[in-house]
Every structure is written in structure tokens, then in C-alpha cells.
Amino acid sequence: MAKINLLPPDLGPNASVLKLLNLTKKISAIIGLVFIIFGILFAGYIFFLQTEIKSSIKRSDNLKSSITTLNKTEQGLYLLKDRVGKIKSLLTKETQDESLIGSKDLLLGSAGISFSKVETSQGKITISASSLTSGLLSDFFETVIADIDYKSINLTSFSFNSKTGYVFDLDINLK
Amino acid sequence: MKNVPFIIKIAIKPVLVLVLLIVFSFIGFSKAFSQVKNLKEELAKAVKNENILKSKLDILSADEGNLQTNSNSAVSYFPGENPTLLTLYQLRKNAVSAGLFPSNLKVNPGGQDTNGFMKTSIIFDVQGTLSQILDFVGLVKIVSPNIWIENTELDFQGETLKATIATKSYWAPYPVKIPALTEPVSQLDASEKEILTKIAAFNQPPFVSLTSEVPRENLDPFGEEIIRPD
């Protein structure tokens, strides 16, 4: 049945308003469509992310149970790391005192020198010795002075006694 | 409602739909974006966790073989308990190797140093020739547990001499907690491996492992045969 509009055309909305309303409807339709499309895309992406998280957690759980079976190894490795770390800092802090070993040639190879006391501590040697002849004493001092490992040499006392000869004390600081 | 102009009557529906769609789209998309952001963060965390566990498992599987040997060397060099007895053993053993015998031993259990390490000190005398003493000092430097010569006093008495040697050794208690399962673990780096190689070559103290004995009935509890008088 045909639609009959008996109202005079002046009472109806004008053409520009009808155009605007049509545009509004079109925009609504586009926004609705975009909303649905992006909604589907987002839902898919969220589902994908959730699946990925679940499978990653599952894989992590499997790895955890494998690591648990290597519990002893883990403890051992942790202990080893702890010890090695401490040894590293100990070796940085401490150095073996080489003053006695470093003076081996001097102490063993000085003919005519009678040592009475030798004290060594970190980087320092104190020598108390005597010599009957000035020639041997001179050789000894030459050996001491020529040693490149000695940073400073102090003759702290020197005396002569007809019984023991030349008696002296030396303080040597190592490099 | 009768007074509402016709233009508004026909416009209200599409405009309302448009406004509602805009509002819903805005709320919906902002929610979706925030959820995606949260899920992405969660996934990154899960993947990171998984990678940590994977590398941890790889390291543990690879190190399983030589870990025991390395641990023995490290623990022997830097013990978790007071090493005085082992130090005394090493001092005596190396003194005997050099033809000396340590005497007048004084042990100071010591305390904690600035690094948090525990320190024990031993002072002792040895008598012998200078070369014997120098040999001994050289030997002591390459033993486990760590022994550091603090100072030496050589008192020459004719051919032989008396040496008073002060040594110190360090130790620290073992860690009591291991990190969480998801904590990363790193392999030994080159410098750590170098340290292990160095200390592995040191003279190790003997490790004694005692196994428990199965309970048995003591048939002779008094340790001797009881002879009853006639």
C-alpha cells in the first residue's frame, strides 16, 4: 500500500536537515562497523596473548621441575660461586709475603757474613748481621744495593768490635 | 512532548545512537588497550622467567660433571668452618717434607676481619738450616686451606737457626639460603675459572669420609673374657 503524506511540504523538515540526519546515520553505521571489527581483532589478540602466557607458564613449570631434579647441582653451583667470590676478594686483599723467599740469594749466598737475626713482614726485612772483614762487608752491601727488588735500604746501626768485626742492622723495604 | 519541535523528534534517535556509539567505542577501546597492555607485560614477564629457567637448566646440566671437583678445591681452599686443624696438618706435613718439625704452637682462633671473613692465626717455631726453612715457607704458600705468612723471625744460632713463623688463615661460614628458583644463575667467568685452576693445583688436605656402620650385637661388652672363680 502506498504511503500517503497529507501534510503540507512546509511543515516537514527541510532538505539540509535531512541530509545531516542521513550523514549522522552513516557515521553511526561506520563507527558501529569499526567497533565490531576492532572488537573482534582485540578479542582475538587478547585470546592469543592469554594462550601464549598459559603455554609459557606451562613450559616454565616443566623447566622448574627439571631444575628441581638438579637441586644438588644448583646448591653446589651456588656454594661454588659463593666460595670463588670470597676467594677472589681474599686474593685481592691479601698477597703472599715474598720478602723472605725473595731474599733467599742474599741470605744463602753472602759469604763471610754472619747473620744473627732476620725479621720479615709484609714487604719489609730487618737484618742484623756482622762481618769480620770490610771487603766481604763491602761485597754484601754491593749485592744489597744492586738488588732491584729493594725499594729503600736503611743502615740503622753500624759498629766495629775487634771480636765480632763489623756489626750492622739493615732495614730493607721491598717494592 | 507535543510541544517538542518535529525536527528534534526525528533527529534525536540517530544523534543518540551516534553519541552512544562514540561513548561505547571510547570506553571499549580504552579497556581493550589497557587489557592488551597488561597481558603484554604479563607475557614479557612469563617469557623472561622462562628464559631465566631455560638458561639456568642449561648451566646446571652443563656444570653437573666438573662441579664436584671445583667445589672440593674451592671449599678446601676457603673453608666454611674453622680450618685450624687442617692448617696445623698442612703446616706439620710440609714442615716434615722440608725436614723440619714445628714446635711451640700457639693458636689464636681470631675474629672477624673488615671483609667479614673469619681469621685464625698460628704461631710456631721450627729449627733447621736456612734452606730448609726457605723451602718450608715456599711449600706453605701453595696449600689448601689458605695460609698466609704474616711475619718470620729468624734467629741464627751457629749452623742451625730457629724460625718463629706467624701465619693466618681465613674462612667464612657457608651460605644458608639458596636463591629462589626463578633467580638467574651465571656461569663461572674467566677470572673465576682461572682462580679455580690455580687453587686446584694447591696441595689439598686429605678428605676423610666416614660411613656409618650397621648396628651389631656386642658379644663381649666388657672387652675381656670373664673368668669366674671356681
Cα A127 to Cα A105: distance, rounded to the nearest angstrom: 14
Asked if A89 contacts A97 with a C-beta cutoff of 8 angstroms, the reply is: no
Cell numbers placing B131: 734452606
- Please name the residues between 157 and 196 in chain B that touch chain A, using a CB distance below 8 Å: 170, 172, 174-175, 178-179, 181, 185-186, 188, 191-192, 195-196
Mean of the pLDDT values across residues A16-31? 85
pLDDT band at B1 (very low <50, low <70, confident <90, very high): low
**CB distance A53–B59 less than 8 Å?**
no
Which DSSP symbol is given to A41?
Answer: H
Asked if A124 contacts A99 with a C-beta cutoff of 8 angstroms, the reply is: yes
A159-169 tens-digit pLDDT: 998 888 999 99
Asked if A174 contacts A160 with a C-beta cutoff of 8 angstroms, the reply is: no
Single-letter code of the amino acid located at B185: V
Asked if A149 contacts A102 with a C-beta cutoff of 8 angstroms, the reply is: yes
Cα A64 to Cα B183: distance, rounded to the nearest angstrom: 11
Q: Give the model's pLDDT for residue A88.
A: 92
Question: Of A16, A14, A12, A35, which Cα lies nearest the Cα of A24?
Answer: A16
Cell numbers placing B60: 646446571
* B2 pLDDT above the threshold of 70: no
Cα B31 to Cα B224: distance, rounded to the nearest angstrom: 90
Name the residue facing A84 among B22, B170, B188 (closest C-beta).
Answer: B188
Q: Bigger pLDDT: A9 or B87? A: B87
Cell numbers placing A74: 644448583
Q: What are phi and psi of B213, to 5 degrees?
A: -95, 145
Name the residue facing B54 among A12, A63, A82 (closest C-beta).
Answer: A63
pLDDT band at A107 (very low <50, low <70, confident <90, very high): confident
| Residues recorded for chain A | 175
**CB distance B36–A74 less than 8 Å?**
no
B27-56 tens-digit pLDDT: 988 999 999 999 999 999 999 999 999 998
